[in-house]
Amino acid sequence: MLKKERYAAFIDHFSNNMPIAETELQYESPFQLLVAVVLSAQCTDKRVNMSTPAIFENFPTPAHLAAADFDELFPYIKSISYPNNKTKHLIGLGKMLVEEFDGEVPSTVEELVKLPGVGRKTANVITSVVWNQPNMAVDTHVFRVSKRLGLVNQNAKTPLEVEKQLVKHIPKQHIHIAHHWLILHGRYVCLARKPKCGECTLTHFCRYFEKNREAILNEGTLPPKKKK
């Protein structure tokens, strides 16, 4: 199957079966989403969602974060991975938002990556989720699933390489939601250690399934046939 055909099948499937796909992080404003995404680095959304209500209640604005000291904020973050660094990042992030952006979350990747704790992936998440900009955040799920499906070249070694290939081939209007399609599929079906190929509805265009079809079928986990 040609790469162009894989992309067409990918867009067709999810446009029809998952026309609405959103982040599982809970938030009510761009600022809250920014805090949540910073905290979600190498941490599950479920764990972050357990911690953020208290953070949002006690530090509701960038100014509140900017005024906090380490010992004040740390207890709210200590159950999340890398709490020391993330506490420092949030305090620094609050200060920069107040001092350089008038307390508002900037709307461009170039400005967002200036903030402490914000890399390209986080900036792409914010701009695509809040403003539907055609930016592709590549996390571990997007990286894995896009390569397994055959959407990107197998020799793509970095998130940026994967991002560039996805953005090049996915229609602009679908990029912001395709990020969620790939994440959710990777989180619940295309698992890292043992993908659930027997439950997957993408096997008709999946490169991984094509290469491993015999072994997968021998496991007795037949994938569902594509509906005509």
* pTM for this predicted structure: 0.88
- 9-13, 68-72, 173-177, 211-215: least confident range: 211-215
Would the annotation count 206 as a binding residue?
A: yes
Average pLDDT, the chain: 93
- 41 and 16 within one domain: no
Query: Does residue 86 fall inside a structural domain?
Result: yes
Number of folded domains that form the chain? 2
What is the crossing angle of helices 83-101 and 30-39, to 10°?
A: 150
Q: Please, what is the end-to-end C-alpha distance for the chain in angstroms?
A: 18
d(CA 162, CA 159): 5
- 16 and 48 within one domain: no
Q: Which positions are annotated as active-site residues?
A: 121, 139
In which domain, by residue range, is 196 found? 3-20+136-218
Query: Does residue 162 fall inside a structural domain?
Result: yes
Sign of CA dihedral 223, 4, 212, 175: negative
- 89 and 76 within one domain: yes
Q: How confident is the model at residue 1 (pLDDT cuts 50, 70, 90)?
A: confident
pLDDT of residue 84: 96
pLDDT of residue 222: 52
d(CA 46, CA 84): 20
For residue 48, the domain's CATH number is 1.10.340.30
Q: How confident is the model at residue 228 (pLDDT cuts 50, 70, 90)?
A: very low
Checking 81-85 for CB contacts under 8 A at 24+ apart, the result is: 81/41, 81/42, 81/43, 82/41, 82/42, 82/43, 85/117
- 151 and 124 within one domain: no
Tell me the mean pLDDT in the region 144-173: 95
- 95 and 118 within one domain: yes
Would the annotation count 43 as a binding residue?
A: no
pLDDT of residue 220: 60
Query: Does residue 179 fall inside a structural domain?
Result: yes
- 52 and 12 within one domain: no
